[in-house]
Amino acid sequence: MKIPGTKNFELTTPFECENGFVFPSLMLNYKTWGTLNSDKSNVIVICHALTGHADAEKWFHGLFQQVGFINLDEDFVICINVPGSCYGSTGPNSINPETGSKYGSDFPILTIRDFVHAQIHLIDHLGITSIKSVIGASMGGMQALEWAIIDPRVKSSVVISAPARHEAWAIGISEAQRAAIYADSKWNNGDYDPNDPPKAGLKAARMMGMITYRSHELYSQRFSGNNGSQNPADVNSYLNYQGEKLVKRFDPLSYVRLTQAMDLHDVGRDRGSIETALSNCRTKFLVIGVSSDLLYPVAEQKLIAKYLPDCLYQEIDTIYGHDGFLVEFDRLNSILTQFKQEINLQHV
């Protein structure tokens, strides 16, 4: 589904993935804000998370405040939907021009690195000469890391609540969610009826995810009664609501393929090691951890900061867990604004 207000860019030359799969053509859905300056150097790239889309103002609205990291009087902002998603870019429900049928289960397992290489084609198409900053959280933060390593046009990178490599803990959580989708009788190995998809499986997967996106303390506070007791019905109702909300807007096979891409995330792959890959990166970095993040604990962000030659590490102290970056916008904007001032982004 295409998000209103977004545009499409079609790469008409073959695009080869890390695993050797070649797309004969590739569609990328994107949205922009602001105006490109004369030398096309005032660019900020926003990378979306797992179930996000190109309209970053909808889900990252805190960054679009009048005073903050983004200044639309000066900046040209672009957010690109990754291939494999279901929001307008080429994905499992897209037609394979070589067969005339939907990719379906034949849609390959991509990598975060594939996402970035695909997006670079759009940046090249727009004639962009320099990128002031790339910013992303969670899966978006993984992309922001790869952007800085791959593209020398990137002058600074902001990585929020993301690891240098998907560790066993996060991989296990992803596989458990996928297992819920596979167990749905309508899954059919990914070649399900688009009018009758495995909704129950996707709903269960999202319910699992929502537990890891929050914290023990937040759940305890949110679902405690006046006498301190916990009402199971309240917890159940909340998780069911979150699951049903995602089912209405997301595709199960896209969820599978994107989580598989996250599992393959490792900036050290084919670069010697994580330490080597990061220590060779000359981009200015801001790395932000969330104190109560269960999915990607702050030790993982501190590891990134340890090896980067030019990095500021900051931590948001909150009970909101991994999703703190979608809640604590005042704190996030304060950190981002300080970073912007320190590196003088507007004159990079």
CA–CA separation, 101 and 57 (whole Å): 33
Of 167, 170, 136, nearest to 303 by C-alpha is 167
Pick the catalytic residue: 94, 138, 174, 292? 138
pLDDT at residue number 69:
86
Q: Is 138 a catalytic residue?
A: yes
pLDDT at residue number 347:
43
Q: Is the pLDDT of residue 105 over 90?
A: yes
Q: Which structural domains are found in the chain, ordered by start?
A: 7-166+266-347 (3.40.50.1820), 170-262 (1.10.1740.110)
- The pLDDT tens digits of the residues spanning 161-196 come to 999 999 999 999 999 999 999 999 999 999 999 999
Q: Is 73 a catalytic residue?
A: no
- The pLDDT tens digits of the residues spanning 257-315 come to 999 999 999 999 999 999 999 999 999 999 999 999 999 999 999 999 999 999 999 99
pLDDT at residue number 346:
44
Q: Is the pLDDT of residue 27 over 70?
A: yes
Order of strands, sheet of 26-33, starting from the edge strand that comes earlier in the sequence: 7-11, 26-33, 76-80, 43-47, 131-137, 156-160, 284-290, 311-316
Q: How far is CA 347 from CA 64, 131, 270, in A?
A: 20, 12, 34
Output the six-digit token pair for 92: 């499992």
Q: Return the percentage of the chain with pLDDT > 70, whole number.
A: 97
pLDDT at residue number 214:
96
Q: DSSP string of 302-313?
A: HHHHHH-SSEEE
Q: Is the pLDDT of residue 319 over 60?
A: yes
Q: Is the pLDDT of residue 64 over 90?
A: no
Pick the catalytic residue: 48, 53, 265, 322? 322
pLDDT at residue number 280:
97
Rounded mean pLDDT of 207-234?
Answer: 88
Q: Is 322 a catalytic residue?
A: yes
Q: Is the pLDDT of residue 227 over 80?
A: no
**Does the pTM of the predicted model rise above 0.85?**
yes
Pick the catalytic residue: 251, 263, 293, 323? 293
Please count the other Cβ atoms lying within 10 Å of the Cβ belonging to residue 334.
Answer: 15
Rounded mean pLDDT of 72-91?
Answer: 97
